[in-house]
Amino acid sequence: MSVGTYKIIELVGSSAVSWEDAAKNAVATASKTLRDLRIAEVKELDLKIEEGKVVAYRARLHLSFKYMEKE
Judged by the rule CB under 8 A, the positions of this chain that interact with a copy of itself are: 1-20, 23-33, 37-42, 44-49, 52-54, 56-57, 60-62, 64, 67, 69-71
CA distance between the termini of the chain: 22
Those residues whose C-beta lies under 8 Å from the C-beta of residue 5, and which sit 6 or more positions away, are: 66, 67
Amino acid, res. 24: K
